């Protein structure tokens, strides 16, 4: 542990760690503590130690049997939605290099390049697949949506991981209405790659977004999107 | 009598035998190995995971939500999100059970914050077991029951003011500011009690061998 680690500003070291692992911090206080955690080994140690305690708290709940009906409903939905695992780098025609250059030009020029990429791939795929490049904002990596017969896959490469105890969550926005969860959470491989199928068709959806959220996801985005793909 | 369906029946019997063998094989796998299969989209591995942890997940959800219907919604939502997500389970970050329960916990808290209608009475521990029909009270196994007893005992042994803030935040999903308002305490006092309580729990549960 370095001196910089230990002396990380004016934050009250350890004062928020317990509240953090209990999920009792929110808003700016939560963000400030997350930022502080990246620099403070003392608080990281305390979070790890308290995290072990919080992990066993659930078994303090009186144990009960989940109903057969619940098990049936869950497994029925699971079997209805055969899921493909994330296969990093599965596509031989990966656009990461081309996409990376496209994002560098920015603004209107970026849109033109992106449109050219879409057209080029639509033609080259030959299977009716359309690839929509997505903007990656504030983190490293590239992303695109692959649309086939109304179904969509989000493919990311070299994306920055979502962080400890966090996950990427996908949102769908129709027009100017509030984004709704796509019921898709994902992490990335060690190389930052993932290939995620969206469970719903994108009829009427104007924008697909991705935010970093706590493990388990949320019902409303709590952060600015890190990936944005516009479909209109 | 003509046995025209016999070949089909034999095929079905073979398939059933193969299925039974597969199920038995899956049941022998550790959670971490099952998660590798789940990542590949193997629904039967996911079923085994549900069978192993569905009761604990439901128990946590019921403890938090206080109603069977809401608890079932939370558990269903949590398990389906796990299935749909394709999220890589990272075994270096803890057990599969802890991972699943953290997802259930987050989903329940999220549901609370969406509704914003719960009261502190909902999360009171006292009398919860008595409100349930006795036939519904089960323990997954002796070992888990022993661990559960130790954790409950350690919680019970905490000073009331520390136990209260831990239960309100973890099982009730309240933020420290909400708890401070509810108990008419400064927010710093709530955080201090949380820290003291978790520190004592850590020592007590460590001594009982309940912590890794």
- List pLDDT tens digits, range A178-194: 888 887 788 787 778 88
Interface TM-score (ipTM) > 0.85: no
pTM of the model: 0.57
Query: Given this model, what pLDDT does residue B118 score?
Result: 52
Q: Which domain holds residue B201?
A: 124-212
User: What is the band of A127 on the pLDDT scale with cuts at 50, 70, 90?
Assistant: very low
What chain B residue is nearest to A18 in terms of C-alpha separation? B195
- For the cut 60, the answer to whether the pLDDT of residue B18 exceeds it is no
B104 and B150 inside one domain: no
SS3 of chain B: CCCCCHHHHHHHHHHHHHHHHHHHHHHHCCHHHHHHHHHCCCHHHHHHHHHHHHHHHHHHHHHHHCCHHHHHHHHHHHHHHHHHHCCCCCHHHCCHHHHHHHHHHHHHHHHHHHHCCCCHHHHCCCCHHHHCCHHHECCCCHHHHHHHHHHHHHHHHCCHHHHHHHHHHHCCCCCHHHHHHHHCCCHHHHHHHHHHHHHHHHHHHHHCCCCC
What confidence tens digit (pLDDT) does each residue in B74-127 have? 999 999 988 877 555 677 767 888 888 888 998 888 887 776 555 444 444 433
Contact B173 A85 (CB under 8 A): no
Least confident range from A100-109, A213-222, B55-64, B131-140: namely A100-109
Contact B79 A74 (CB under 8 A): yes
Choose the final residue of a domain: B118, B153, B187: B118
User: What is the band of B135 on the pLDDT scale with cuts at 50, 70, 90?
Assistant: very low
Kindly state the average pLDDT of the residues B51-72. 91
Name the residue facing A53 among B56, B177, B202 (closest C-beta).
Answer: B202
What confidence tens digit (pLDDT) does each residue in A204-228 have? 888 899 998 877 677 788 888 899 8
Kindly state the average pLDDT of the residues B45-51. 92
- For the cut 70, the answer to whether the pLDDT of residue A21 exceeds it is yes
Residue B180 lies in a domain: yes
- Window 54-73 of B: residues touching A by CB (8 A cutoff) are 54-60, 62-64, 68, 72
Total domains, chain B: 2
Contacts of A182 in chain B (CB under 8 A): none
Give the CATH number, domain containing residue B80. 1.10.1740.10
A101 and A164 inside one domain: yes
B138 and B70 inside one domain: no
What confidence tens digit (pLDDT) does each residue in B171-201 have? 988 899 999 998 999 999 999 999 999 999 9
Whether B203 contacts chain A with CB within 8 A: no
A50 and A122 inside one domain: no
Name the residue facing A58 among B101, B138, B205 (closest C-beta).
Answer: B101
B28 and B110 inside one domain: yes
Q: Which domain holds residue A51?
A: 3-60
- For the cut 80, the answer to whether the pLDDT of residue B131 exceeds it is no
């Amino acid at each position: 542990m370095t001196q910089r680690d230990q002396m990380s500003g004016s934050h009250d070291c350890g004062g928020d760690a317990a509240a953090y692992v209990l999920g009792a911090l929110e808003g700016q206080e939560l963000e400030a503590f997350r930022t502080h955690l990246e620099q403070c080994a003392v608080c990281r140690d305390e979070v790890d130690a308290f995290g072990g305690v919080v992990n066993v708290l659930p078994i303090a709940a009186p144990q009960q049997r989940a109903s057969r009906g619940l098990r049936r409903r869950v497994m029925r939905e699971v079997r209805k939605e055969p899921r493909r695992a994330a296969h990093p780098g599965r596509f031989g025609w990966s656009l990461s290099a081309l996409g990376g250059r496209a994002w560098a030009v920015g603004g209107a020029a970026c849109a033109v390049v992106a449109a050219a990429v879409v057209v080029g791939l639509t033609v080259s795929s030959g299977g009716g697949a359309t690839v929509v490049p997505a903007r990656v904002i504030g983190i490293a990596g590239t992303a695109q949506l692959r649309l086939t017969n109304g179904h969509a896959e989000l493919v990311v490469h070299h994306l920055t991981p979502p962080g400890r105890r966090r996950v990427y969550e996908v949102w769908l926005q129709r027009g100017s209405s509030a984004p709704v969860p796509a019921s898709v959470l994902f992490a990335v491989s060690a190389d930052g790659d993932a290939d995620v199928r969206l469970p719903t068709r994108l009829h009427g959806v104007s924008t697909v977004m991705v935010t970093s959220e706590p493990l388990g996801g949320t019902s409303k985005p709590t952060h600015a999107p890190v990936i944005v793909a516009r479909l209109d | 009598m003509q046995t025209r369906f016999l070949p089909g029946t034999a095929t079905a019997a073979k398939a059933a035998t193969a299925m039974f063998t597969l199920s038995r094989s899956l049941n022998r796998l550790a959670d971490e190995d099952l998660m590798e299969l789940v990542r590949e989209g193997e629904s039967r591995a996911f079923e085994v995971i549900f069978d192993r942890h569905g009761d604990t997940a439901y128990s946590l959800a019921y403890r938090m939500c206080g109603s069977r219907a809401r608890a079932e919604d939370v558990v269903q939502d949590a398990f389906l999100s796990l299935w749909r997500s394709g999220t890589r389970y990272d075994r270096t970050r803890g057990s599969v059970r802890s991972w699943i329960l953290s997802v259930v916990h987050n989903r329940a808290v999220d549901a609370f914050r969406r509704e914003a209608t719960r009261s502190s009475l909902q999360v009171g521990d006292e009398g919860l077991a008595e409100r349930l029909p006795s036939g519904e009270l089960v323990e997954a196994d002796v070992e888990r029951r022993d661990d559960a007893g130790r954790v409950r005992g350690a919680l019970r042994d905490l000073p009331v003011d520390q136990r209260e803030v831990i239960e309100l935040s973890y099982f009730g999903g309240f933020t420290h500011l909400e708890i401070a308002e509810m108990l008419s305490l400064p927010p710093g006092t709530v955080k201090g009690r949380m820290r003291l309580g978790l520190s004592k729990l850590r020592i007590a549960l460590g001594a009982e061998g309940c912590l890794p």
